[in-house]
Structure 1
Amino acid sequence: MKRGIHGRRDHSLVLGHLLLPVAVLLDRPWLFLGGTVLAVGSELRGERQPSWLRRMLRDNFLGMEVRTTFREILLLLLLVRAWPERQLPPAVVLCVSAFVLRRLLRMPSTAVMGRLWRTRKLAVETRNIDAAGLRIGRGPARELGPLAVQVNQVSGFLGITGPLLAAATGEHVLAPAGSGLMLLLAVGWCCYLAPVLLRNRRIAGREEALRHVQKWIDAYRPETMLHFAGTRTSGYQLNMWLETLARLDGRTMILLSNRHTMEELAPTSLPVVCIPVGAELMNLDWSSVKVVFYAANVGASIQTMRLPTARHVFIGHGDSDKLASVNPFSRVYDEIWTAGRAGVDRYAQAQVGVREEALVEVGRPQLGRIQHGPRGGGVRTVLYAPTWESWTEDPGNTSLGVAGEKIVAKLLASPEPLRVLYRPHPFTGLRDRRMAAVDTRIRGLIAQANAKAAAGTSAAPTAGQKAALAELAEVRAELASILGGWRGAKGDSADRTRDCRLTRAQEERVNWLHNRRGELVWSVGRPDEHRLVIGEDYALYDCFNESDALVSDISSVVSDFMASGRPYAITDAAGLGAEEFRLRNTAARAAVILTPDAGGLDALLAALRDPAADELAEQREELKSYLLGPEEPSSMTRFQMALDDLVARRARGRVPRLREPVEASALR
């Protein structure tokens, strides 16, 4: 639907500008007015969601401002043709002068907008930190930028309409009338911006903002810090650790290097500081920090890895047999914490220079929410969660392109009742647009299957579904109430720095509400309804709990699903053969191996129908312990003990860790 809407906007934009020179050649003021209405209307509707055509025009120096000037120049040509004797009435000459005056009036408004943008783009952004010292005033509405564009377009339209009507009707007074409205709107816009600028004239500048953060660091004295930097949409790699970090002993904080990550940050009670400029980050005193965690291997990590007094630990964002899990860059960390013994062996086999004594098994604290064992009643459910295409051309990266449609089609065609959940990776199509096309087709298959199943059935919800819908609305309303300030729907980043506060009690309530929402969303709709499980309503681990089996690729999703003990299948997308595929990928040792044409699904479905046919159950339990570590003591306990042990060795000036694993009894 959105693509169609964008397409119509682009068509009217192109058609409107094509009509203008035709109207000039034919000396048709009304045709020119029609083209102007199409063009300006398209500009107003399309500004909030730019399309590829608008980006292409902008990149080729044909942006909105140039298009506005183009329309005004063509108007002048039309006016010259409307009076062949070239004796333009004074009113028309006045309107031409008004165009120039409007341009001059745009200069102060543009300067004010630029000043506001620079003033409110703080050197640092924070969450859960007192920002009173930054003197952040109430900012302009988030719609200020689009509103400025709309004011410019409407004022330009008024200025054009007056002379056009004068030329078409011979009523010369219409020309200055339109120009007067144009200038009045331009002056009014400047008057609107003036108080907004005055409210924000005292916001702390760069140096003062950095001093404010240093003052907070000196008072809080953080001991443990997670430093994160990443591309857009990679915030999930950070968010998965927030609850674990909030449960640690001592003073913990989050340090970010990208402003866009602040927009993706999940609600947390931890103090958060974002410093985009590396030199400014390094000029602060972080000497109280004892341990720095890293959830991703990125170049910006060097900013905090230069802290000589801290110990640096890579915790990643999930263990898997992907090459990224044995990145040679990992050798720069003091320690690498893996979920289980498999992570240790993976580095040893890769021989990328990581010291064996630097590898520590801590489990996966996040997996405590995953229910172990058979799901119980209900329609048997299979979750298809392919990974993305990655940055390389390796054909084995993802099953989506070679087998995705076949897998989903076979599952949907099951003769026995079967529900399909489809969860594409957030990065799907980032590098290869063909994967995005496959993703779209799979979504279409699911929609068609649901429409076919719903045909001839009653759409009225049951009493239980009505109750779930009512409670779901209440849960969403309470979440919106608690998190309204956090998400900053009505403000900008400066407003969120000033207002975003979340106590630990509120965070625990938010987590409970999230979990409850995750339970309720499965209670609405038909029990056999296939679902596209994306968005905040569908947490990954909730999808695990709703599934009897998983189909995926080599990724951390498989390792995490192992905590459920349920059957799973992995696609041999490169066609290596089951034996070779299992040899190369640890997580595949207890999996049903699917061929590139989705062969092997019958074995997975047989294990769902009859537990006696599940020949890999015992192997899964063994592999689970190997990949994720023992169930006792808990992963959270092991994580905390590993941190305490590292801090103790740091205090003694002894970084290396004894290779012998800590006995479970010693961790209790």
Structure 2
Amino acid sequence: MRLTMKRGLNSGNDVLLIVGHLAMIAALPLHSPWTFLVGIVVATGSEIRGERAAATWLRRILRDTHAGIETRTTLREFLLLLILVREWPGHHMPRTVLLCTAAFMLRRLLRIPTTAVIARLNRSRRLPVETRNIDAAGLRIAKGPKRPLAPLASDVNQVATLFGIAGPLLALATGELWIAVLGNVLMLLTALAWGGYLAPHLLRNRRIANRAAALRHVQKWLESYRPETMVHFSGTRTSGYQLNMWLETMAQLDGRTVVLLSDRHLMEELAPTSLPVVCVPVGAELMNMDWSSVKVVFYAANVGASIQTLRLPTARHVFIGHGDSDKLASVNPFSRVYDEIWTAGRAGVDRYAEAQVGVREEALVEVGRPQLGRIRRGPRDGGVPTVLYAPTWENWTEDPGSSSLRLTGEKIIAALLASPEPVRVLYRPHPFTGLRDPRVAAVDARIRRMLTAANQRAAAGTTPVPNGQRESALAELATVRRELASLLGPWQGAGGDGADQTRDCRLTREQELRITRLRERRGELVWATGRPEEHRLVIGDDYELYDCFNESDALVSDISSVVSDFMASGKPYAITDSAALGEEEFRARNTAARAAVILTPDAGGLGTLLAAVRDPAADDLAERREALKSYLLGPEEPSSTVRFQAALDDLVARARLGRVPRQQSEPAVLR
């Protein structure tokens, strides 16, 4: 999902909108009811599709100039009346125009109560607090509509208008007045049927707990559960991955943990978890709740909403971030507000010391990266050499060193595709790609087309997966997806809204582990169903990042946490010097670059990376990678999960005693 407004035309849908209205206008001088009928059908279809698609540049302009969908509907009705006045023969014209005008007015009057009902339903079902894995029986939540009511209401209005316009047009073309009457009757019946659809929902939802009762219900649960550990998260759309990467780690911890969200949209991105989750969007209501049992609060991102929990005086506040890298975000001066900052390895500690942003050395604790246990070490077993290209996004500045995608991305892909010996490419763009810079989004689109074209050219000459093996994998994949869909249905909003998910989303730890196993198996099967040489765009639910690590022999990336995590595999990797600093300066500035093949802005250096993949004897950086891995990610023993739990236990104990500082004599594992 992309946050930027899509520019230009959305898959031809905007073209249809323009063509439809031009056809209706042209029908007047052409004296052609049939041209008008074609135009209204095309325009209506475009309006319905447009309500489901992302907002486009054209529709934004129309909305901002007060030419939104309601104005366009009125225009179509007005054009119909014009063509009826001009073209209807004989003395029936006045009564026909009067009939259509009255029907249009009556339909609009019928929309007043239905719109009021939708507003009432939306208010009652928009709970002040949404939850997961918490008993919501006290909230008395009735089952809601299967689809959002606002876009559905727009669709119904468009269909009703189509009946009301098409009927008189057909009557004009055929000379049969009854067709006009039938069209208007169908229009009004559609509006009445819509009201009949809404009425039962209004009756069922009249008993849902009000705002005060809902907040009291969650407060009562807090008093009963008494969580000691909290993960607080807030962020923009598509930032949910920053939290999701920590859910499994938190679920493994001893003690009572709660996830607190400050943004309702993050509930849509939340990965299935057995942890209790509470979302309180209004800061004042969140701050009025009693969180005094919480002893440790974890933060995965630096955001302004963190102030809502940083105010808790009885808790210790810990920044855990969402990855370890040499980006400036990894040494944000905002970090001074936390009691402690937990880093993966010694590199994180040194990074803060060198940045001199005011973070105390005793506040830095090395705990490793508990998420990396799934990454397999060492090379894959045979197959075509596979390179994963995973560039980061363009960031908020014009710094060319942030991402290689805009200036070098196409050159990297082109060089890999043109390699004399076959190379398989896996392309994984950052979720924020194109967020700020449409030029980066355009490069991303071109790279996707390059991979598609390369696959099409190679399809005839590649070795296919044996039919029996592929069919077996596809059959099992379908079974795995069905079971996952059954387990994840409520979490993915199947047939319900946020209130339904608050009522239905429950997951035991056993079910969570089952989902994890099914996802791992789904990943294995997705890879097994393709050709061994097939290039892939590895985005979406089917492709976990760490599975992509396991499926590749080398990585090409930028300065980001992806590089640090990939180091757990021990495989070769390259980083692009997009700002053309020069190899020596680039290595000096970026810790992760010390054991990397450095690519120039024109993708020079890829040959060195591919040589290291094909022949271990040519891998001159292997020993350096191993040493750097320990520096960035910490020692392998004891495991990072053990170290993380030990650090938490120590902090909880000190929080119970009050503001007791961490002692310098503590075990080195926590340093």
Q: TM-score, normalised by structure 1?
A: 0.96
Alpha-carbon distance between aligned partners in 2 of 1:269 and 1:405, rounded to the nearest angstrom: 42
Shift of 1:7: 4.1
Instruction: Check conservation: 1:646, 1:655, Cα contact below 8 A.
Output: no
Shift of 1:73: 1.6
Gaps of 5+ in 1: none
Alpha-carbon distance between aligned partners in 1 of 2:665 and 2:258, rounded to the nearest angstrom: 31
Residue 62 of structure 1: SS of its match in structure 2?
coil
Change (3 A) 1:414 1:30: closer
Alpha-carbon distance between aligned partners in 1 of 2:261 and 2:22, rounded to the nearest angstrom: 48
Alpha-carbon distance between aligned partners in 2 of 1:473 and 1:96, rounded to the nearest angstrom: 54
Change (3 A) 1:661 1:609: farther
Question: Which of 23, 26, 30 is equivalent to 1:22?
Answer: 26
Aligned twin of 2:181: 176
Change (3 A) 1:336 1:80: same
Alpha-carbon distance between aligned partners in 2 of 1:628 and 1:613, rounded to the nearest angstrom: 25
Change (3 A) 1:9 1:610: closer
Alignment of 1:355-370 (within 5 A): 355-370=360-375
Aligned twin of 1:627: 632
Residues 6-27 of structure 1: CA distance to partner in whole angstroms, max 9, x if unpaired? Answer: 4433222212212333333454
* 2:155 counterpart of 1:150: yes
* 2:59 counterpart of 1:46: no
Aligned residues: 665
Alpha-carbon distance between aligned partners in 2 of 1:103 and 1:530, rounded to the nearest angstrom: 54
Alpha-carbon distance between aligned partners in 1 of 2:622 and 2:255, rounded to the nearest angstrom: 41
Question: Which of 12, 16, 36 is equivalent to 2:16?
Answer: 12
Shift of 1:572: 0.7
Shift of 1:655: 3.7
Shift of 1:460: 6.6
Matching residue's letter, 1:31: T
Gaps of 5+ in 2: 1-5
Alpha-carbon distance between aligned partners in 2 of 1:483 and 1:9, rounded to the nearest angstrom: 32
Aligned twin of 2:40: 36
Aligned twin of 1:547: 552
CA-based RMSD of the aligned residues comes to: 2.0
Change (3 A) 1:441 1:91: closer
Aligned twin of 1:257: 262
Instruction: Check conservation: 1:397, 1:554, Cα contact below 8 A.
Output: yes
Aligned twin of 1:499: 504
Residues 523-570 of structure 1: CA distance to partner in whole angstroms, max 9, x if unpaired? Answer: 222212221111111111111111111111100001111111111111
Alpha-carbon distance between aligned partners in 1 of 2:30 and 2:469, rounded to the nearest angstrom: 68
Change (3 A) 1:600 1:659: farther
Change (3 A) 1:179 1:275: same
Question: Which of 115, 118, 126 is equivalent to 2:120?
Answer: 115
Shift of 1:406: 1.3
Alpha-carbon distance between aligned partners in 2 of 1:90 and 1:656, rounded to the nearest angstrom: 87
Alpha-carbon distance between aligned partners in 1 of 2:324 and 2:90, rounded to the nearest angstrom: 80
Alpha-carbon distance between aligned partners in 2 of 1:495 and 1:242, rounded to the nearest angstrom: 22
Aligned twin of 1:598: 603
* 2:39 counterpart of 1:72: no
Alignment of 1:461-540 (within 5 A): 461-540=466-545
Shift of 1:499: 0.4
Shift of 1:379: 2.0
Matching residue's letter, 1:231: T
Residues 582-603 of structure 1: CA distance to partner in whole angstroms, max 9, x if unpaired? Answer: 1000111111111111111111
Shift of 1:164: 3.0
Instruction: Check conservation: 1:92, 1:176, Cα contact below 8 A.
Output: no
Residues 251-276 of structure 1: CA distance to partner in whole angstroms, max 9, x if unpaired? Answer: 00100011111111111000001111
Alpha-carbon distance between aligned partners in 2 of 1:4 and 1:325, rounded to the nearest angstrom: 36
Alpha-carbon distance between aligned partners in 2 of 1:554 and 1:460, rounded to the nearest angstrom: 36
Aligned twin of 2:3: none
Instruction: Check conservation: 2:9, 2:15, Cα contact below 8 A.
Output: no
* 2:430 counterpart of 1:425: yes
Bigger CA drift: 197-206 or 468-477? 468-477
Aligned twin of 1:442: 447
Instruction: Check conservation: 2:410, 2:443, Cα contact below 8 A.
Output: yes
Aligned twin of 2:135: 130
Q: Show structure 1 runs of 4+ deviating over 4 A.
A: 2-5, 83-88, 456-460
**Identical-pair percentage:** 74
Matching residue's letter, 2:502: T
* 2:358 counterpart of 1:353: yes
Aligned twin of 1:316: 321
Aligned twin of 1:280: 285
Bigger CA drift: 605-614 or 156-165? 156-165
Residue 254 of structure 1: SS of its match in structure 2?
strand
Shift of 1:618: 1.0
Residues 208-238 of structure 1: CA distance to partner in whole angstroms, max 9, x if unpaired? Answer: 1100100110010011000000111111100
Alignment of 1:219-258 (within 5 A): 219-258=224-263
Instruction: Check conservation: 2:130, 2:499, Cα contact below 8 A.
Output: yes
Residue 293 of structure 1: SS of its match in structure 2?
strand
Aligned twin of 2:582: 577
Residue 97 of structure 1: SS of its match in structure 2?
helix
Alpha-carbon distance between aligned partners in 1 of 2:607 and 2:43, rounded to the nearest angstrom: 57
Residues 105-141 of structure 1: CA distance to partner in whole angstroms, max 9, x if unpaired? Answer: 1100111111111111111111100000110001112
Shift of 1:40: 1.9
Instruction: Check conservation: 2:465, 2:532, Cα contact below 8 A.
Output: no
Instruction: Check conservation: 2:428, 2:539, Cα contact below 8 A.
Output: yes
Alpha-carbon distance between aligned partners in 1 of 2:607 and 2:330, rounded to the nearest angstrom: 31
Matching residue's letter, 2:619: D
Aligned twin of 2:400: 395
Shift of 1:292: 0.4
Shift of 1:369: 1.0
Alpha-carbon distance between aligned partners in 2 of 1:351 and 1:86, rounded to the nearest angstrom: 88
Shift of 1:472: 1.8
Matching residue's letter, 1:29: P
Shift of 1:241: 0.2
Change (3 A) 1:452 1:174: closer
Change (3 A) 1:517 1:162: closer
Shift of 1:4: 11
Instruction: Check conservation: 2:318, 2:338, Cα contact below 8 A.
Output: yes
Shift of 1:170: 4.0
Alpha-carbon distance between aligned partners in 1 of 2:243 and 2:399, rounded to the nearest angstrom: 26
Question: Which of 327, 331, 338 is equivalent to 2:336?
Answer: 331
Instruction: Check conservation: 1:358, 1:656, Cα contact below 8 A.
Output: no
Residue 154 of structure 2: SS of its match in structure 1?
helix
* 2:334 counterpart of 1:342: no
Change (3 A) 1:84 1:466: closer
Alpha-carbon distance between aligned partners in 1 of 2:75 and 2:440, rounded to the nearest angstrom: 40
Alpha-carbon distance between aligned partners in 2 of 1:91 and 1:443, rounded to the nearest angstrom: 55
Alpha-carbon distance between aligned partners in 1 of 2:424 and 2:26, rounded to the nearest angstrom: 58
Change (3 A) 1:174 1:610: closer
Shift of 1:429: 0.7
Alpha-carbon distance between aligned partners in 2 of 1:646 and 1:554, rounded to the nearest angstrom: 31
Aligned twin of 2:304: 299
Question: Which of 94, 98, 111 is equivalent to 1:93?
Answer: 98
Instruction: Check conservation: 2:463, 2:531, Cα contact below 8 A.
Output: no
Change (3 A) 1:598 1:630: same
Change (3 A) 1:167 1:548: closer
Shift of 1:173: 3.6
* 2:616 counterpart of 1:611: yes
Alpha-carbon distance between aligned partners in 2 of 1:472 and 1:170, rounded to the nearest angstrom: 58
Bigger CA drift: 650-659 or 317-326? 650-659
